[in-house]
Structure 1
């Protein structure tokens, strides 16, 4: 730590950066690794494995159709209403819980009491008001929505097996990571016959590290991921993101909704727009951050792992995690500006999504992933008690099993739904679904 402090002090005195902003040296074999130039002088390292498939099994066409019909209304006071219309075909039809229709009305139901509230009662009203004479009930004040989004589409969800040549798995890491944190997952799924693709973000791993902060904004990194996706995408693509990498997966799911078959969010946080904090330690000068790098590394180990023993330290070292320059780290944190990624943006996703959360995660509270599960149309939340933020490194076998089961999951072929059915399709051990939900920012 003393050496780091001296280097940082010299950096401040000479006004020069003590960080060498170049790709990290790697001693890994070249097999399976490619270097893709996404822009002139901007090169990303990508691990791409196409396993041998002795038997090519074409998809059998089974699976289930999922009807995605929902209305999202945002009011000026920040309230967000989401109504899953189910089999009710019309986007302009506002249907009350008792099946009666009332034009230009919005059903308000609490998350915890969905299906029990009366259409004339708002959140928190007494249940006894259901028996009140309709003529004596006060008229509801109609509020003018700030924004209304109607989604009406149908998706066919099928199982994705490693023998299917039209399936590709994309793994995207977060701040301070590298593609090496996915080592267990890449080996596991490639052995099962899956084609896997995992890039290093700019400034991470063995990718090039530009010397300008603008190279690490959300939009610059998202454009990199778009180019990688277009280069390797198949007909059915599965996106697996961790932490900040979840935002890039969400971005791609919006850009290519027909090509994204399923998505996995690992400790990704809540469905909120990104905005850099003005009171963050990462706003300190680069040389100061360099002095504090041992403390930052210790803090990351403390918060990122449920246990902080020799095994966890070795995992960080072997997987090249949190091994980025102070300049890149500062630019990444200050460049997390993505105002479009709000609740409505996430609620518009129609792809099945598995959320995996480590109970001991000190970076992302479990409440954030729970809220994400409530916002999304088809969300399956799994909480692992033995893991923290780096759960795919701490509990690789458990995470691999969860991911594989999700890839093989497909909704059962359902009989034609009843007229007023409000249930979601059969899910992969899903959390309790809600047809109408009210959220307060």
Structure 2
């Protein structure tokens, strides 16, 4: 800590910056690392693994088609009303007691903080002008208490209707049209995905894991604007266009989840599935005004040992020698103070609100570490409510860096989700299109059956005289 304090003091006294980070030479001796220049002077390190495999061009399974039908209404007071109308969201229509059709369990919540917002008000029915049903008139001598005034029907500020169908199939490692993208968060690097990259590459999947600007071995421009959300998202968009296949699966962690959501909106037809690991709630990003990261860069550099210790305490469920070695080996939280300050100050993304997340139609797996002190579990639960097709899995032994703490459990969850496909219901049997008998024909048949003289023996053969009255057999199809 004394060394960090002295370096920060020299940074404040001398004009030379002590926070310049340049692309480091990779210590890996194997192939699979590429340096991609997304913009002039902006170079990102990417680990790209294409394993040798027996390729199967087309998926072996037929998969299933999910109908995505939603109506999202935003009112002027910030209230959000979501109606799930499709089978994919398990929102079958049911009949009410009065015979009207209403959506099953719509989501109705406030966009603002619960402490400052009022209770959501339901929209009254315009046909109930005569008062509530079942109310008797007041008897003589009784005073009718005044009823509260009826609230006016609110006009929506914005209405979004989603109606599409998605074909979801299992993505096996032998398929040539499948690619897995791993995107880390603030302070991480592609090395935090080492267990996942090795696991899926051995199964035959093509894996792409980039370093964000200023992280790992990527270049670190000394301009704060280079680390805004839109700048980083544009970098990942160019990386995605370079390596994308027909079916792409995005796996994001923490801040990387927001970048994955941005890509899912930009390329809805190419994103097949998504995985959000400790990503937080579906709220718009904005930098905090009262944060330790607003301090001057030299002060943050002096406090860097303290920040690293705090990250170890909050990011891992246990703080032992194993966890410290994981941080060191995987190059996690090893960024300069300038990059860290610019990343936290550049988290401005007003479009990423609840409506933005509710418009996603891709299947999403939410993975949350129970001991995470950065992201409460309530935020991921809220995310699961807003998303159309979401599955929330909580790991009791993990924290914020759950993919490093519990690699086997995370790999199993990811692999099962990648191989998951919806069950296609069997086709309904077509009813026979036989013509119903008339009442007259039914009465004649009943009379013929009751008269024993009209009953023909089983051995009797039809004669030419009664061919006109008997039913002719059907002709065989050629």
For Structure 1 versus Structure 2, the TM-score category normalised by the shorter chain is: 0.7 to 0.9
Q: Aligned-pair distance for 1:63?
A: 1.2
- The equivalent of 1:84 in structure 2 is 84
Alpha-carbon distance change, 47 to 135 in structure 1, aligned in 2, over 3 angstroms: farther
Cα distance in 2 between the residues matched to 1:263 and 1:107 = 25
**Is residue 2:312 matched to residue 1:301?**
yes
- The equivalent of 2:18 in structure 1 is 18
Cα distance in 1 between the residues matched to 2:395 and 2:40 = 42
**Aligned partner (choices 370, 388, 404) of residue 377 of structure 1:** 388
Deviations 1:206-256 (A, max 9, x none): 000011000000000000000000000000000000000000100000000
**Is residue 2:133 matched to residue 1:133?**
yes
**Is residue 2:298 matched to residue 1:281?**
no
CA contact (8 A) 1:347 1:375 kept: yes
CA contact (8 A) 2:45 2:211 kept: yes
- The equivalent of 1:44 in structure 2 is 44
Structure 1 window deviating more from structure 2 (52-61 vs 377-386): it is: 52-61
Alpha-carbon distance change, 149 to 183 in structure 1, aligned in 2, over 3 angstroms: same
Deviations 1:157-195 (A, max 9, x none): 000000011000000000000000000000000000000
- The equivalent of 1:2 in structure 2 is 2
**Aligned partner (choices 414, 421, 435) of residue 403 of structure 1:** 414
Cα distance in 2 between the residues matched to 1:50 and 1:97 = 55
**Aligned partner (choices 203, 208, 232) of residue 214 of structure 2:** 203
Cα distance in 1 between the residues matched to 2:78 and 2:95 = 22
Deviations 1:388-418 (A, max 9, x none): 000000000000000000000000002579x
**Aligned partner (choices 206, 212, 216) of residue 227 of structure 2:** 216
Q: Aligned-pair distance for 1:289?
A: 0.4
- The equivalent of 1:60 in structure 2 is 60
- The equivalent of 2:360 in structure 1 is 349
TM-score normalised over the length of structure 2: 0.78
Cα distance in 2 between the residues matched to 1:57 and 1:85 = 35
**Is residue 2:45 matched to residue 1:34?**
no
Q: Aligned-pair distance for 1:55?
A: 5.1
- The equivalent of 1:437 in structure 2 is none
Cα distance in 2 between the residues matched to 1:107 and 1:191 = 43
Alignment length, in residue pairs?
A: 394
Q: Aligned-pair distance for 1:29?
A: 2.2
**Is residue 2:345 matched to residue 1:313?**
no
Which aligned pairs between 1:101-250 and structure 2 lie closer than 5 A? Answer: 122=122, 133=133, 141-250=152-261
Cα distance in 1 between the residues matched to 2:177 and 2:64 = 18
Give me the CA root mean square deviation: 2.5
CA contact (8 A) 1:109 1:122 kept: no
Cα distance in 2 between the residues matched to 1:330 and 1:176 = 11
CA contact (8 A) 1:95 1:107 kept: no
Cα distance in 2 between the residues matched to 1:63 and 1:109 = 29
Alpha-carbon distance change, 41 to 135 in structure 1, aligned in 2, over 3 angstroms: farther
- The equivalent of 1:261 in structure 2 is 272
CA contact (8 A) 1:301 1:308 kept: yes
Cα distance in 1 between the residues matched to 2:249 and 2:236 = 14
Gapped regions of structure 2 (runs ≥ 5):
110-120, 124-131, 137-146, 429-478
TM-score normalised over the length of structure 1: 0.85
- Report which structure shows greater RCO (CA 8 Å, sep ≥6): 1
Cα distance in 1 between the residues matched to 2:345 and 2:134 = 55
Cα distance in 1 between the residues matched to 2:248 and 2:96 = 37
Give secondary structure in 2 for the equivalent of 1:377.
Answer: coil
Q: Aligned-pair distance for 1:48?
A: 0.3
Alpha-carbon distance change, 134 to 17 in structure 1, aligned in 2, over 3 angstroms: farther
- The equivalent of 1:393 in structure 2 is 404
- The equivalent of 1:291 in structure 2 is 302
Cα distance in 2 between the residues matched to 1:387 and 1:61 = 33
- The equivalent of 1:75 in structure 2 is 75
**Is residue 2:379 matched to residue 1:368?**
yes
CA contact (8 A) 2:180 2:207 kept: yes
Alpha-carbon distance change, 166 to 81 in structure 1, aligned in 2, over 3 angstroms: same
Alpha-carbon distance change, 416 to 56 in structure 1, aligned in 2, over 3 angstroms: closer
Cα distance in 2 between the residues matched to 1:110 and 1:254 = 23
CA contact (8 A) 1:72 1:81 kept: yes
Gapped regions of structure 1 (runs ≥ 5):
89-93, 112-120, 124-131, 418-441
Give secondary structure in 1 for the equivalent of 2:161.
Answer: strand
Give secondary structure in 2 for the equivalent of 1:222.
Answer: helix
Cα distance in 2 between the residues matched to 1:96 and 1:18 = 68
Cα distance in 2 between the residues matched to 1:96 and 1:300 = 53
Cα distance in 2 between the residues matched to 1:110 and 1:272 = 16
